[in-house]
Amino acid sequence: MPVELVEKMLTGDQRALARLVSAVERQSAEVPEIMQHVTPLLGRAYCVGITGPPGAGKSTLTDRLIAHARQQGETVGIIAVDPTSPFSGGAILGDRIRMQQHYLDAGVYIRSMASRGHHGGLSHAAKGVIKLLDAFGKDLILVETVGVGQTELDVVAAADTTVLILVPESGDAIQTIKAGIMEIADLFVINKADRDGAERLQRDLQMMLHVRHASDGWCPPVLSTQAHQDLGIVELYEAITTHRRKLSETGQLTTRRRQNRRQELLDLLQQQLLAALTAQFENGETHSGLLAQVEEGTVDPYTAVQQMLVESGGLWR
């Protein structure tokens, strides 16, 4: 079944793509087989992560970027990660509605995904969906994170270029920078730049970036946009293109993608190991006596973890 769906997807069948995306999102047992078949086809698409605090206008800006990319003849895939509905478990906002002008465009594929309680700005399945869109043949993939503000660091391990959106009156703006997102952003965008404080925020950002040591030789630009008026979108698109060209010319694009694949392996390994160990605890199959000792306070958790790892295959050194 996965092989047949992948073959249909490669012929341009969006229904097959949607079924594969659903399988990846629910972490179906078929996912390893799906990824095995699409991996040789990867590497052509360029992925841009769009992150920032809630209310920064990420969806509107993404919508405008889609329109401009389509004018340039690029096909576009969008992954919009939204908060999880407490009732259905699905995406609660639904960017298909906010980007409805592109819904009937065959060159655009939009998928709203629930964060499913993940606090890094992306769901675990997002990287898998990026791969499917790449294999499907999209030229540009835009990943809009959930908008949790200071913890959206996962996007850097999924995107080639990371864009941080801020707004002048955002109380989280400078705090977000202090939290470390400044270190991962390749482009800074001050959206709603017609509001008071935009110029001051731009100066503050430029001053901070001036003293920041850029090991890759790239100094992130600080751009101004008014997405709702479609202002500054062309300049943002050109800045993304410039950054892509810079990464390609210096070999950094290959390096980043290698690092991202390595991090994906480590994250997946951690996820699977944790799930396996948790299942053992919940089923009472192993370590029940050790768990009881930790609960009673006769064994400390550090010693217990060391012993568990040794008993689970000598992973502890």
Give the torsion through C-alpha atoms of 14, 18, 21, 27, to 10 deg. -150
The per-residue pLDDT for range 149-203, each reduced to its tens digit, is 444 577 888 899 999 998 987 655 555 555 566 677 899 999 999 999 899 888 8
Q: Give CA–CA dist 108/248, Å, rounded.
A: 25
Predicted structure pTM score? 0.86
My answer on whether 67 and 152 are in the same domain is: yes
Q: Percent of the chain scored above 90 by pLDDT?
A: 48
My answer on whether 277 and 193 are in the same domain is: no
Those residues whose C-beta lies under 8 Å from the C-beta of residue 88, and which sit 6 or more positions away, are: none
> Can you give the pLDDT at residue 178?
54
Query: Which domain, by its residues, includes 102?
Result: 42-250
My answer on whether 46 and 36 are in the same domain is: no
My answer on whether 120 and 18 are in the same domain is: no
My answer on whether 174 and 275 are in the same domain is: no
- Return the ∠ at Cα 35 (arms to 34 and 40), rounded to 5°: 115
My answer on whether 34 and 169 are in the same domain is: no
Q: Is residue 317 part of a domain?
A: no
My answer on whether 25 and 46 are in the same domain is: no
- Whether residue 250 is predicted with pLDDT greater than 80 in this model: the reply is yes
Domain count, the chain: 3
CA 26 to chain centre: 17
Q: Is residue 257 part of a domain?
A: no
The per-residue pLDDT for range 218-234, each reduced to its tens digit, is 889 999 999 999 999 99
Q: The domain spanning residue 238 has which CATH number?
A: 3.40.50.300
